[in-house]
A and B are shown apart, each in its own frame.
Chain A
C-alpha cells in the first residue's frame, strides 16, 4: 500500500466546475504539500499545510491531521488549471509523493 494515496487518478471537468482532489496518507507528518505540474514538466508549489485551511485565489487546501486527509479544491475551474496535481507529505526531512491527479478542464 502506498503511503500517500490520491484520488481520483484522472479528472475531466467543464470550465466553471468546482473541483476536488483528495489525498490520504498513512504516516505521521509535519507538513503536507500540494504541487502543480504543468504539461511542460515544471513543478510549482501551491500550498504547504500543517493544519487547517489555506486559500490562494481560486485554490483552497484543507487538511485534517486526525484523519490523515487533505483536499485541494479549485473553484470556477478554467482550462489553464489543466495540470497534474501532486500531494506530498513530509514525515521527516524528505518528501513522500502521491502519484498525482491529472486534471483536464474543457472549455
Chain B
C-alpha cells in the first residue's frame, strides 16, 4: 500500500493476556518508530528501528514490552501480561532515513485492556 498500515485497528484484551500489534511501513523506509498515546496525553516514544542497527529501546516502559522488525520491513510490538495502564493508541511511523526526513504515521491500534 501507499501508506503505513497497522493492524488490528482495535484490540480489546483481558488483563494478563499477551497482544501483538503489527506495523507495515512504507516500502523502502529504513526508519520505523513505535509511539503510544494514552487518553488525553501526548505522544510517548517506545522504540526506534533504523536499518540494520541495534534498535533504540530506551522508551519501552517495562520488560513486558518488546518489538521486532523482520527483514527491515514489518514490525511487531508485543505486550506480555497486559495491564490496564497499557490501554492506549499505539502508533507506528516510518521515514526514509530518520526524523531528518519526512515521516508518515499509521492510523494506530487502539488497545483496551479490561
What residues of chain A have their CB less than 8 Å away from a CB belonging to chain B?
A: 30-31, 33, 35, 41-45, 48, 50, 86, 88, 90, 93-95, 97-100
Given contacts A33-B99, A95-B99, contact A45 B104 (CB under 8 A): yes
Given contacts A86-B43, A95-B33, contact A45 B108 (CB under 8 A): no
**B residues within 8 A CB of A100?**
42
**A32–chain B nearest beta-carbon distance, Å:** 10
> Which residue of chain A is the closest to B103 with respect to CB atoms?
A45
Contact of A95 among B45, B101, B110 (CB under 8 A): B45
Contact of A93 among B43, B48, B102, B108 (CB under 8 A): B48
Main secondary structure of the interface of A (DSSP, over half): strand
Given contacts A95-B33, A97-B42, A97-B43, contact A48 B56 (CB under 8 A): no
Main secondary structure of the interface of B (DSSP, over half): strand
Is the Cβ of B100 less than 8 Å from the Cβ of A94? no
Is the Cβ of A94 less than 8 Å from the Cβ of B42? no
> Which residue of chain B is the closest to A48 with respect to CB atoms?
B102
Is the Cβ of A90 less than 8 Å from the Cβ of B102? no
> Which residue of chain A is the closest to B98 with respect to CB atoms?
A93
**A74–chain B nearest beta-carbon distance, Å:** 20
